[in-house]
Chains A and B, each alone.
Chain A
Amino acid sequence: MKSTAQHEQNRNAMHKSLAVASAVLCLVSLLMVLYYAPREQVMGDVQRIFYFHVAAGWVGGLAFAVAASSGGLYLWQAEERYDDVEYASIEIGLVFTLANILTGSIWAKPVWNTWWTWDPRLVTASVMAVIYVGYLLLRRSLPESASRPTITAGYALLGFLSVPLTFFSIRLFRTIHPVVFVAAMDGLGMSSLRGRMMLTLLTCVLAFSLVYVVFLLFRIRLLQLGRRVRTMQWEQYDRQRP
Chain B
Amino acid sequence: MSEVTGHKKRRESKMGATYFRAVGAVFWKDALSSMRSPEALVVMVVFSLLTLLIYQFTFGLESEVGADVGAGILWTTMAFAGVLGFYQAMAGEREQGCLDGLRLAPLDRSAVFFGKWLGGLVHLGLVASLLIPAMAIFFSLDLFNWEVAVIILLFSIGYAALGTLLATMTMQSGARELLLPVLLLAPAFPLVLAGTQSTQALVSGASWSSIQAWIRLLVACDAIFLSVAWMTYDRLLME
- On A, residues with C-beta under 8 Å from B are 75, 124, 127, 130-131, 134, 137-138, 141-143, 145-147, 150-151, 153-155, 157-159, 161-162, 165, 172
Q: Which residues of B contact A138 (CB under 8 A)?
A: 169-170, 173, 179, 183
B8 within 8 A of A: no
Interface pair A150/B182, CB less than 8 Å apart: no
Q: Which residues of A contact B236 (CB under 8 A)?
A: 147, 150-151, 154
**How many B residues face the partner with a CB closer than 8 A?**
26
Q: Which residues of B contact A172 (CB under 8 A)?
A: 213
Interface pair B187/A131, CB less than 8 Å apart: yes
What is the minimal beta-carbon distance from B179 to any residue of chain A, in angstroms?
6
B36 within 8 A of A: no
Q: In terms of DSSP, what is the predominant structure of the interface of chain B?
A: helix
Interface pair B186/A130, CB less than 8 Å apart: yes
Q: Which 7 residue pairs across A and B have the least CB separation, nearest first?
A: A147-B239, A141-B173, A154-B232, A131-B186, A141-B175, A151-B169, A130-B186
C-alpha gap A165/B213 in the complex (Å): 13
What is the minimal beta-carbon distance from B3 to any residue of chain A, in angstroms?
15
Name the residue among B174, B186, B224 with the largest chain A CB count within 10 angstroms.
B186
A127-B189, A141-B179, A165-B190 given; name 6 further pairs at CB < 8 Å.
A75-B231, A131-B187, A150-B232, A155-B169, A159-B186, A161-B224
C-alpha gap A124/B239 in the complex (Å): 33
Name the residue among A137, A141, A158, A159 with the largest chain B CB count within 10 angstroms.
A158
B162 within 8 A of A: yes
Interface pair B179/A137, CB less than 8 Å apart: yes
Indicate with 1 or 0, residue by residue over B139-162, a CB within 8 angstroms of chain A CB atoms. Answer: 000000000000000000000001
What is the minimal beta-carbon distance from A220 to any residue of chain B, in angstroms?
23
